[in-house]
Structure 1
């Protein structure tokens, strides 16, 4: 009899769960590809080339030396130094002229920090200012001030580009200046202003005639004003129409009090030494005022930076630099290792313009 043909056995198909398990085993055995690390905002700033940094003129700085603390904690026997950068033109011109005159005259020397209100401000000047018999006389020839100068009228080129709820765009016709950085897509949403730009390293709000425009590139702002963020320095005043001379100053040490925008003169920002103000004991009186002379911190001197020997040179990251655009995007959408979900937007006060000592 003929031999029957041999039948070749076929493998039965594997169940789906077995296939999935095998795939996982293969994937686990394969060498993992390392994800490209995403730089942090600090790493972007540290890597910014030298050409992306702009010098801050020493004459645009106020240097306040406070008396050392009783324990001499940070630098025994040496004053605690606070360095303030003054606003650029066209903002706060009368007050800044007064600050220059007061500093040159040594008017603040021997006065004090008189108020520290938690999550709000530190204020300094003449503790006896309200008592005409005891108040220190102001220098003659100070510039008059008015609330009309809390904001500046818009002029073409005041800021070359703007941050809006739709990301970077032109604040007016014609299109943005060639100095604008690479496109910033991060939206800036704000309850106090329609859009923002930067002037001399400071964030400024832009005001439009009838609220936020429907077509950003066809409507020009009518005014711009500096805003209150952490470290902002402003001018103390009494009730309107008083606008303050600049003799009384404060620095923000808490949540940005944006409701003060266009209600008080902003004159600058602390670029170094804010810890010497924010760490002071809180005042025990109303609004954080100290109730006795013993509680106050003495001011040794306040001078223009150009009059301070051996003052370090300072630089700010140019807001027209590509590094700044990358920094903004990174602040708006944190994708570095610690973060789980990017925010998809950024608050203007969460974009502090980086400052460093010149290398």
Structure 2
């Protein structure tokens, strides 16, 4: 587990109004193009960073579906405000049932598994933190870690039984449904174009309203891996480095809320889903 010495130093510096930590600039990392998926919607492009450390089998399957054009023309058929936007094929491909996958809700971790800790304890985990930009829950006693259902997470949809995921997926579009942690397979998260996810047509309406016509459901124009696009069409993205001292400083400030705006200080706790991880386009 990553030690919080730097975090403690930065927190002390903030409280003492020391400018040393304040001078640190955001540090960035460049995601592997092989782990970036680009979904094109009528509204624009959405880039998803996949996390193979946490769901290698699902991600391998997901990539194969993307490469085969499986999602071309699929629609978001279950879109609930403040919950999820779910998409997939209207019917099975061909005459055969789609392949089902064994669930990958969490991974085993070693004693020296490093991450940047945010909160301990958390409502749903012994610890929360970040691992390479992904919000994680951690159980040191079980030696397990998992990706949490923060806004913008991409996960595989399934039936009531655990090992029933096929190709349908969802993106969390509002509040963090953390009660889904550890019972779903999370593949990654949206790092660019979340505003387009938020504008996907809602299919769930208020009771008494007319049902939404399926013809108006948001359609996926294309889905591809960033690495397979011509260089001229690739989006050169960088993501905030959550293992950097600058990010630890950011966590300290968000926990202590040193701004004068907070004339009454909130409790010094920090929800991992309330910590935005920045993305930028590298010139």
TM over 0.5: yes
CA–CA separation in structure 1 for the residues paired with 2:110 and 2:147: 15
Q: Distance in 2 between matches of 1:293 and 1:161?
A: 43
Q: Is the contact between residue 82 and residue 272 of structure 1 (CA under 8 Å) also seen in structure 2?
A: yes
Cα displacement (A) at 1:155: 2.0
Q: Select between 311-320 and 276-285 the one with higher mean Cα deviation.
A: 276-285
Cα offset, 1:272, TM superposition: 1.0
> Unaligned regions of 5+ residues in structure 2, if any?
1-15
Q: Kindly tell me: are residues 333 and 141 of structure 1, through their superposed partners in 2, closer, same or farther at Cα, counting changes over 3 Å?
A: same
Match of 2:185 in 1: 265
Any conservation in 1 of the 2:75–2:88 contact (CA below 8 Å)?
yes
Check conservation: 1:204, 1:224, Cα contact below 8 A: yes
Q: What count of residue pairs does the alignment treat as equivalent?
A: 260
Q: Distance in 1 between matches of 2:96 and 2:243?
A: 39
2:114 counterpart residue number: 159
Superposed CA deviations along residues 22-75 of structure 1, whole A, max 9, x for unmatched, are xxxxxxxxxxxxxx9999xxx988x32xxx21111111111000125xxxxxxx
Aligned equivalents of 1:276 and 1:164: distance in 2? Answer: 30
Please tell me whether residue 114 in structure 1 is matched to residue 77 in structure 2.
yes
The equivalent of 2:223 in structure 1 is 302
The answer on whether the counterparts of 2:74 and 2:88 sit within 8 Å (CA) in structure 1 is yes
> How far, CA to CA, are the matches of 2:18 and 2:168 in structure 1?
44
1:9-28 correspondence to structure 2 within 5 Å: none
2:132–2:243 contact (8 Å) kept in structure 1: no
Give the equivalent residue in structure 2 for 1:170.
Answer: none
* Corresponding residue number in structure 1 for 2:13: none
SS in 2 for 1:320: coil
Give the alignment partner of residue 58 of structure 1, picking from 14, 33, 46: 33
1:125-140 aligned within 5 A: 125-126=88-89, 128-129=90-91, 135-137=92-94
Q: CA deviation at 1:269?
A: 0.5
Residues 69-218 of structure 1: matches in 2 within 5 Å? 80-89=44-53, 91-126=54-89, 128-129=90-91, 135-137=92-94, 145-147=101-103, 149-160=104-115, 162-165=117-120, 189-209=121-141
| Correspondent of 1:228 among 144, 149, 156 | 149
Q: How far apart, in 2, do the equivalents of 1:138 and 1:208 lie?
A: 45
When the two chains are superposed, the root-mean-square deviation of aligned CA atoms in Å is 2.8
Q: Whole-Å Cα distance in 1 between the matches of residues 125 and 282 of structure 2?
A: 34
Structure 1 runs not aligned, ≥5 long:
1-35, 69-79, 130-134, 166-188, 210-220
Task: Tell me the secondary structure at the aligned position of residue 241 of structure 1.
Answer: coil
Q: 1:111 to 1:281 in 2, by over 3 A?
A: closer
TM-score w.r.t. structure 2 length?
0.82
Secondary structure of the corresponding residue to residue 220 of structure 2: strand
Which entry has the higher C-alpha Rg, 1 or 2?
1
**Separation (CA, whole Å) in 1 of partners of 2:95 and 2:37:** 18
Give the Å deviation of 1:233: 0.9
Structure 1 SS opposite 2:223:
strand
Q: Distance in 2 between matches of 1:311 and 1:55?
A: 13
CA distance in 2, matches of 1:227, 1:286: 28
Name 1:315's counterpart in structure 2: 238
